[in-house]
């Protein structure tokens, strides 16, 4: 009779000087049996834990709901699943661990705003965290604690509400150039908007203006931003089975390829910051490099702090502007109201200025509605996680559980936003269309509680001044097809990225008068002169970084 006990085989195997194949099948059998037992015990644990968690699809052992999670725009399915289970909270098993998806504003606020002392950490993230070497060194992924606080404080010095007043003229000048670019060539309006967003943060971060869209840093930045999709549950097997990330590279080369690439990118951003520190004038990189020793920052921390200006601020801002253009083309009555307000407050003989901001409530409402209507960060950026176990509505939420706000569902809930796909700035005016919402702002485009977007003041200031200027300048209309007919716009045609934006659509930007066209040209020229102090090239590339 073969012996199926691994324990008794071990000495036999070791003692045997010549390997005997006859021993292998029973040994493997025993191993398989033990593994099976481990899996069964673990599955029983999962199922017991599941009984105390919010509802959700039934998980498989080891892989949980990995196969059930749609690989494209999963937020659409989660909105439906929450309705199916009749609960705004939904549990998904990413491998052996639960993730909670929150599908309405009030539950999200209960957890992430009212209990923000508990829910302001981040879960252990394998790909975007460990693989990209960001778990310890980047504010976006760092766990709640002193190191994260230091990062947040430093970021605040450059994009906090006080600091951003100092960036107004850079944003205003770049938006004047953007307006002229749209007037001159509507076919490249998306690229012009991206150049504008990158240039603003590049000047603030490294003191260097981006003049061309094919600029090396701009292109590197755009590539860098693609990593935002690494966070979507179900995107990587490694997230479901973290052990895969520890396999030797000759078996599974992906983890080390990602890690080495990330280290290289961090070296690049560090060197870029060191280079910027030598420039005349102020920039964020200079401040951080100067304080590196005093704050005890590793080179990777410096890279993270500076690169976050791009990672956080470029795609988000560009996509929100493009969304607003889509809304203006698709909902001309909102555009008419905006023009009426601008004509009344600003007139057509000068462009809007900082002092007009408080007198343009409808334009402000357009910005808020655009952030609500098609929120760029459709899953609220990066998941939160509680630092301790918690009980909410009788559910037991273990420490470290990823909590994802499904902003797609939250911002389209008909209770808060009737006819949610209709663009109605009136929702954000203090009139009858304003519905109760758990926070004063009336939406969560910038996240929740202590973790909410550090760059919000910069983003809001830039969006308001840019949208006001574009609306003052142009009649925005859908582009024309080959037969000269206006194209039909699809307000649901959005990319599948977690930082979503409209699929490309043609648009026309017609100056609202001859005089306005003249002002656009004149202001752009003067803005270009004012920004000349930030001109300059860098020889540093990813290929030659030391
Ligand atoms: C329309 C523009 C923007 C939107 C919609 C947006 C949205 C978000 C969201 C949803 C989060 C996650 C919040 C949470 O976890 O609760 C976030 C975090 C963050 N954002 Fe933004 N963001 C924008 C612009 C910016 C800009 C301009 C910067 C910097 C220049 C920036 C830097 C950051 C940083 C550093 C974090 C991490 C905060 C932390 O974990 O402590 N963002 N953003």
pLDDT at position 4: 34
Confidence class for position 456, pLDDT limits 50, 70, 90: very high
Helix orientation angle between 299-330 and 254-277, rounded to the nearest 10 degrees: 90
pLDDT at position 125: 87
Which residues are annotated as part of the binding site for heme? 453
pLDDT at position 356: 95
Confidence class for position 519, pLDDT limits 50, 70, 90: very high
State the closest ligand 1 atom to the C-alpha of 309, by its place in the atom list counted from 1.
30
Ligand 1 atom 16, closest CA: 447
Q: Is residue 446 part of a domain?
A: yes
Tens digits of per-residue pLDDT, 196-234?
999 999 999 999 999 987 788 777 777 766 776 777 777
Domain that holds residue 341: 52-534
Q: How far is the CA of 146 from the centre of ligand 1 (A)?
A: 19
Selection from 63, 62, 2, 5 nearest residue 33 by Cα? 5
Q: How far is the CA of 76 from the centre of ligand 1 (A)?
A: 22
Tens digits of per-residue pLDDT, 136-151?
899 999 999 999 999 9
CB-based contact 463:175 (threshold 8 Å): no
Q: How far is the CA of 204 from the centre of ligand 1 (A)?
A: 16
Selection from 170, 163, 173 nearest residue 469 by Cα? 173
Tens digits of per-residue pLDDT, 484-507?
999 999 999 999 998 999 999 999
CB-based contact 74:56 (threshold 8 Å): no
Distances in whole angstroms, Cα of residue 370 to Cα of each of 159, 229, 376, 519, 520: 22, 22, 9, 27, 25
Bridge partner residues of 149 (DSSP): none
Question: Structurally, how many domains does the chain consist of?
Answer: 1
Secondary structure tally for the chain: helices H, strands E: 17, 7
State the closest ligand 1 atom to the C-alpha of 447, by its place in the atom list counted from 1.
16
Bridge partner residues of 508 (DSSP): 477
State the closest ligand 1 atom to the C-alpha of 148, by its place in the atom list counted from 1.
41
Confidence class for position 480, pLDDT limits 50, 70, 90: very high
Residue 110's SS3 state is: helix
Higher pLDDT, 539 or 443: 443
- Asked whether this complex has an ipTM greater than 0.90, the answer is yes
Q: Is residue 539 part of a domain?
A: no
Pocket test for ligand 1, best of 174, 455, 462 (most atoms within 8 A of CB): 455
Selection from 90, 52, 118 nearest residue 400 by Cα? 118
Residue 160 has pLDDT above 80, yes or no: yes
Distance separating alpha carbons of residues 202 and 222, to the nearest angstrom: 13
Q: Is residue 18 part of a domain?
A: no
Pocket test for ligand 1, best of 151, 308, 381 (most atoms within 8 A of CB): 381
DSSP class of residue 391 equals: E
Q: Is residue 4 part of a domain?
A: no
Site residues for ligand 1, CB cut-off 6 Å? 139-140, 152, 155, 159, 201, 308-309, 312-313, 316-317, 320, 376-377, 380-382, 384, 445-448, 451-455, 458-459
State the closest ligand 1 atom to the C-alpha of 405, by its place in the atom list counted from 1.
16
Q: How far is the CA of 140 from the centre of ligand 1 (A)?
A: 8
State the closest ligand 1 atom to the C-alpha of 384, by its place in the atom list counted from 1.
15
Q: How far is the CA of 402 from the centre of ligand 1 (A)?
A: 18
State the closest ligand 1 atom to the C-alpha of 383, by its place in the atom list counted from 1.
15
Ligand 1 atom 6, closest CA: 446
Ligand 1 atom 36, closest CA: 453
State the closest ligand 1 atom to the C-alpha of 112, by its place in the atom list counted from 1.
16
Ligand 1 atom 37, closest CA: 140
pLDDT at position 257: 86
pLDDT at position 25: 73
Q: Which two tokens stand for residue 55?
A: 């509802």
pLDDT at position 230: 75
Q: Is residue 363 part of a domain?
A: yes
Tens digits of per-residue pLDDT, 84-128?
999 999 999 999 999 999 999 999 999 999 999 999 999 998 888
Pocket test for ligand 1, best of 134, 202, 312 (most atoms within 8 A of CB): 312
Selection from 76, 12, 171, 66 nearest residue 378 by Cα? 76
Q: How far is the CA of 418 from the centre of ligand 1 (A)?
A: 27
Q: How many CB atoms lie within 10 A of CB 514?
A: 8
The pLDDT of 47-55, averaged and rounded, is: 97
Q: Is residue 337 part of a domain?
A: yes
Q: Bin 465: left if φ > 0, else alpha if -120 < ψ < 50, else beta.
A: alpha
Q: Is residue 329 part of a domain?
A: yes
Tens digits of per-residue pLDDT, 399-442?
999 999 999 999 999 999 999 999 999 999 989 999 999 999 99
Which residue blocks in 185-236 are alpha helix, DSSP H?
189-206, 216-225
Q: How many CB atoms lie within 10 A of CB 383?
A: 21
Confidence class for position 344, pLDDT limits 50, 70, 90: very high
Ligand 1 atom 19, closest CA: 453
Which residues are annotated as part of the binding site? 453
Q: How far is the CA of 228 from the centre of ligand 1 (A)?
A: 12
Selection from 518, 481, 532, 438 nearest residue 179 by Cα? 518
Q: Which two tokens stand for residue 216?
A: 């090396």
Q: Is residue 35 part of a domain?
A: no
pTM of the full predicted structure? 0.92
Q: How far is the CA of 111 from the centre of ligand 1 (A)?
A: 19
pLDDT at position 21: 56
Q: How far is the CA of 60 from the centre of ligand 1 (A)?
A: 34
Q: How far is the CA of 494 from the centre of ligand 1 (A)?
A: 20
What is the CATH number for 431? 1.10.630.10
Find the Cα–Cα–Cα–Cα dihedral 343, 527, 170, 346, rounded to 10°.
Answer: -10
């Amino acid at each position: 009779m073969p012996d199926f006990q691994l324990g008794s085989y071990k000495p036999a195997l070791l003692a045997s000087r010549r390997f005997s194949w006859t021993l292998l099948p029973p040994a493997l059998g025993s191993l398989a049996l033990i593994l099976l037992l481990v899996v069964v015990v673990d599955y029983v644990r999962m199922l017991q834990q599941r009984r105390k968690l919010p509802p959700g699809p039934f998980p498989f052992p080891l892989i949980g709901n990995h196969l059930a999670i749609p690989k494209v725009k999963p937020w659409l399915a989660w909105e439906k699943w929450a309705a199916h289970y009749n609960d705004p909270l939904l549990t998904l098993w990413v491998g052996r661990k639960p993730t909670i998806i929150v599908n309405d504003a009030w539950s999200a606020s209960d957890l992430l705003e009212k209990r923000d002392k508990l829910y302001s950490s981040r879960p252990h993230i394998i790909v975007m965290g460990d693989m990209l070497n960001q778990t310890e060194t980047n504010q976006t992924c760092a766990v709640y604690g002193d190191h994260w606080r230091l990062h947040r404080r430093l970021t605040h010095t450059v994009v906090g509400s006080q600091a951003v007043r100092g960036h107004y003229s850079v944003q205003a000048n770049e938006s004047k150039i953007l307006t002229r670019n749209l007037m001159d060539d509507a076919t490249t309006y998306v690229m012009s908007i991206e150049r504008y967003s990158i240039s603003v943060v590049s000047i603030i971060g490294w003191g260097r203006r981006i003049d061309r869209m094919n600029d090396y840093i701009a292109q590197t930045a755009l590539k860098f931003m693609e990593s935002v999709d690494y966070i979507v549950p179900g995107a990587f097997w490694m997230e479901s089975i973290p052990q895969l990330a520890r396999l030797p590279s000759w078996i599974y080369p992906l983890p080390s390829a990602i890690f080495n690439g990330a280290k290289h990118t961090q070296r690049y951003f560090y060197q870029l910051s060191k280079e910027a520190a030598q420039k005349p004038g102020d920039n964020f990189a200079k401040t951080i490099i100067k304080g590196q020793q005093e704050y005890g920052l590793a080179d990777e921390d410096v890279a993270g702090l500076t690169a976050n200006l791009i990672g956080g601020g470029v795609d988000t801002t560009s996509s929100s502007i493009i969304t607003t253009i889509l809304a203006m083309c698709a909902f001309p009555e909102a555009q008419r109201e905006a023009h009426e307000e601008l004509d009344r407050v600003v007139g057509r003989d000068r462009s809007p200025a900082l002092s007009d901001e408080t007198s343009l409530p409808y334009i402000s409402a357009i910005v808020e509605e655009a952030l609500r209507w098609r929120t760029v960060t459709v899953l609220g950026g990066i998941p939160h996680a509680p630092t301790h176990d918690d009980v909410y509505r009788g559910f037991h939420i273990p420490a470290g559980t990823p909590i994802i706000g499904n902003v797609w569902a939250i911002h389209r809930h008909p209770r808060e936003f009737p006819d949610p796909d209709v663009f109605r700035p009136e929702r954000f005016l203090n009139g009858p269309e304003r519905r109760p919402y758990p926070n004063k702002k009336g939406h969560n485009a910038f996240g929740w509680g202590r973790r909410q977007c550090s760059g919000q003041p910069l983003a809001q200031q830039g969006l308001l001044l840019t949208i006001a200027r574009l609306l003052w300048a142009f009649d925005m209309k859908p582009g024309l097809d080959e037969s000269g007919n206006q194209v039909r716009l699809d307000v649901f045609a959005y990319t599948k990225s977690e930082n979503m934006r409209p699929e490309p659509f043609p648009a026309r930007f017609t100056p609202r008068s001859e005089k306005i066209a003249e002002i656009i040209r004149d202001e752009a020229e003067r803005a270009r002169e004012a920004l000349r102090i930030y001109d300059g090239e860098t020889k540093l590339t990813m290929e030659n970084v030391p």
